[in-house]
Chain A
């Protein structure tokens, strides 16, 4: 809301410096967004919170300011106006609760007496309100000053009487600005005999609006219940000065006063025939709310020690009047402009506002004791630390991306689209972190990077019952194969697999198995799916080269993504004392068929030597000289130990022989 500095100083009848005025308003919860110079004056742009409809005007702001400063403010001057002829149309309030008071007046034979006042034009321009017609400008000016929106109709375009009612089904209205609205039955309209002439409290109808040719006018000033106006304009994608005020609530005692103020201005500038004001009211017209509260209530919530009189006088400054008191409670009457006050806490906030938040006490407390629980956040943070210690940099990407980038990878099927995206490149929730990390890679390659190792922990989304899953994804790219001067690290499948094995060990996750990957995004023969307790939790490998082009890349990279939500959180609970007996080691080398996997061999070893075997570590794979065609040599170092005794030579030989014969029987392996 934009208001001229000069209008505010006039309303508060004082001239504080603009900075101190704005500081004070800020301290009572009226935020100043911006101050701009304007025609030798200043425009103050206020950022009003939705509860404070009462401040949506020059006088409203002034009223709150004066309450804070303890200055007198008389919001309502006695305005008297008397019209000539009778208002000829009947007003029917059919939507009785939605509109419980409606005033109207008709004006004709308009003749300019003196120059149209500059200050009205200036106020409107400062507020960003277009000048449409002098009468409209006047009612809009009164709205800026008092907060009451009013509407001017072309009387000759209205057929028959005026009715305030809810829209009929399939009814439409073309509003100012040429927008055609299909109304629903919960939309309040002003209508004539034939059709809606205004979207009540929101916008007038184009077909009944005034123009330069209009000779006879009707001005409407009404009270609309905020609950009927709320959200309606937004539903059609717009807001008006009227809708913003009415949905927050306009002082229900204001509509007639504001109308009179407007008519007095009109009379000052024009010679005109103005009818008497026709006001229709019904029993649903609101009464002032009452709130009962005790000083204990206030002090309990604020931690203060205010006495009844202080509370009473603070609220009195805000026109919140004490009307009844008994042993336990004070009963206050809420003024007609405060729609936001309905419960005790609301009054407590008012007391706090006037006392000043900075003057409220600070109180130590330690009333909630809870036992520590390791959270998902802690778990995720440990994973992040793990990843950076493995050399990876953390990235954070948007959860949404271009649908095309999912389609390029064929992973758009279960994607969720955003109904109202910011733009097309942010229209779909990602089903995998891959496109995000690949885009980061492309971005960084274009900026001259030839090595990149990044990871992200974030959600992927799918249109299934689980909707969202927290994933850890990592990418490593090494274009130059640049080696450090004495390190020879290959960034390949085994690098990432090794990293993940360390990861599972670090987080005590057992029963992980690696299967040839079915993930079409990855290299069909050099990638793995990762299973935990037979459930797929992710994959690792090099990207399938057929996708490189659509990712904007020339060279392959290695990638993994695992769902970390499904991982058990196995914290170390008990430390076991290590065995005091020595460990015995022996090396074995077998010749086996080339197609036999490492997994098959270790399985066979573990199944053959069931006693005392602690670990088996592969240290060499070899084929070539001295190895028969179609065979390979595979060498292990096996360790045995017991926590009950030192193993004898006999114990170990027995286990070794079991392994040799087991390997021979099951895998046709020959000991070399």
Chain B
């Protein structure tokens, strides 16, 4: 067989094959003991010595050609094998995933987090305190002495041991001042209790309070902090009003309302004020040197606005259909 025919055969054969077995057969066909290239190479013996180098070179080219064919076919066949096996792996990708379990945080936790994140990012430390409180921390230290009419504002649950369930998170302010002194910047989220139950009140609810104590704190600072918070929580186009109110532990005291975008009604969202000098003194600081502001809001009310909840009590029904939304 002449060289050109052999080259043409090589090309034809290798293009045809699709499997490893066929490839192996071709290897035998061309390079086996009686293979075509092997046989062709043997012709070198019959040539005169001067023609042998030229012929040897031709054989070399032929073998390179062969090896390239083997390599490319090998690659092609391997790819074919993978493609075949991939077809067997075909699945219905519309079936649901295996692990189907993701819980949800309670709406009050999410609301608290949204508020706490804001103040936390502004450098407030987050404090906590006991839910069973003494008369002193819940009332006296907050400038609400015994028989003060303001105690009427708090329908207090008393315990048999003489203590009470805290009616607000304000005792934590006092405990924090006592623990850390001044300057100080804290928020305290937590559960509070009042003997009240209807569509807008539950006997247990949540508050978050903030307190800043430093030198020369004024009402303008308080307003700025509250306004920035309201922008963050309700959006910068929210209409806000501050109006005078009364808390024994702040003077001046204010109530903050925002205008409901739908109903155009004013909604009360929090109370605030400059810390009453009696409170600062009672907590062990000098009110001539230090002043401060405090603010507090009900988490349920904020959650109600955030999620448009109608009945406050649904927050404590713990119906999984409500919670897993």
Q: Are A485 and B95 in contact (CB under 8 A)?
A: yes
The bracket for how many chain A residues form the interface is: 35 or more
- Asked if residues A444 and B106 are in contact (CB atoms below 8 Å), the reply is no
Instruction: Tell me which of B103, B150, B157, B223 contacts A362 (CB under 8 A).
Output: B223
The stretch among B9-17, B41-49, B51-59, B125-133 that forms the contact with chain A is: B125-133
| Cβ of A360 under 8 Å from chain B | yes
Q: Which residues of B contact A301 (CB under 8 A)?
A: 218-219, 252, 274, 291
Q: Is A388 an interface residue (CB 8 A)?
A: yes
Interface membership of A381, Cβ < 8 A? yes
A388: contacting residue among B104, B147, B216, CB under 8 A:
B104
With an 8 A cutoff between CB atoms, is B236 at the interface?
Answer: no
B123 adjacent to A370 (CB under 8 Å) = yes
**In the complex, A523 has a CB within 8 A of chain B:** no
Do B128 and A352 have beta carbons less than 8 Å apart? no
Partner of B98, one of A360, A454, A486: A486
A453 contacts partner chain B, Cβ-Cβ < 8 Å = yes
CB distance from A551 to the nearest CB of B (A): 15
Q: Which residues of B contact A31 (CB under 8 A)?
A: 245, 255
A208 to chain B, nearest CB (A): 26
Q: Among residues 172 to 211 in chain B, which have CB atoms less than 8 Å away from a CB atom of chain A?
A: 183-185, 189, 191, 193, 195-197, 202-204
Out of A349, A375, A440, A452, which one reaches B127, CB within 8 Å?
Answer: A375
Q: Report B108-151 CB contacts with A as 1/0, cut-off 8 Å.
A: 11000100100000010111101110000000000000111111
- Residues on B with C-beta less than 8 A from A345 are 251-252, 274, 276-277
Q: Are B220 and A352 in contact (CB under 8 A)?
A: no
The answer to whether A134 has its CB under 8 Å from any CB of chain B is no
Q: Is the CB of B103 within 8 A of A453?
A: yes
The answer, yes or no, to whether B284 is at the interface (CB within 8 Å) is: no
**Interface residue from B100, B132, B251, B252 paired with A484 (Cβ < 8 Å):** B100
Inside 8 A of A389's CB, which chain B residues have their CB?
Answer: 102-103
A-B contact count (CB 8 A): 243
Do residues B218 and A300 form an inter-chain contact, with CB atoms below 8 A?
A: yes
- How far apart are the CA atoms of A440 and B106 in the complex, in Å? 14
CB of B263 closer than 8 Å to a CB of A: no
**Would you call A394 and B105 a contact (CB within 8 A)?**
yes
A303 lies within 8 A of B149 (CB): no
- State the CA gap A467–B164 with chains docked (Å): 12
Give the residue among A361, A369, A389 with the most B Cβ atoms within 10 A: A361
- Inter-chain CA distance A50–B154, complex, in Å, is 12
Contact indicator A387/B254 (Cβ below 8 Å): no
A residues 360-390 touching B (CB-CB < 8 Å): 360-365, 367-370, 372-373, 375-378, 381, 384-385, 387-390
Q: Which residues of A have CB within 8 Å of B315?
A: 396
Do A376 and B185 have beta carbons less than 8 Å apart?
no
User: Is the Cβ of B128 less than 8 Å from the Cβ of A393?
Assistant: no
Given contacts A368-B123, A463-B161, contact A485 B96 (CB under 8 A): yes
Separation in Å of the B51 CB from the closest CB of chain A? 59
Pick the interface stretch among B24-32, B81-89, B317-325.
Answer: B317-325
Question: Given A349-B252, A358-B241, A373-B125, A440–B102 Cβ distance below 8 Å?
Answer: no
Q: Does B217 contact A (CB under 8 A)?
A: yes
New contact pairs (20) apart from A345-B251, A349-B251, A395-B106, CB-CB < 8 Å: A26-B243, A50-B152, A50-B246, A301-B291, A353-B252, A363-B224, A364-B221, A367-B216, A368-B123, A375-B125, A378-B126, A390-B101, A393-B103, A393-B323, A419-B160, A422-B196, A444-B319, A455-B103, A467-B130, A468-B131
Contacts A/B (CB < 8 Å), 27 sampled: A52-B246, A230-B148, A234-B152, A300-B218, A301-B274, A303-B218, A303-B219, A345-B251, A360-B223, A361-B223, A364-B221, A365-B224, A375-B128, A378-B126, A384-B105, A389-B103, A391-B102, A395-B318, A395-B323, A396-B315, A399-B131, A416-B159, A418-B160, A418-B165, A421-B157, A426-B203, A455-B103
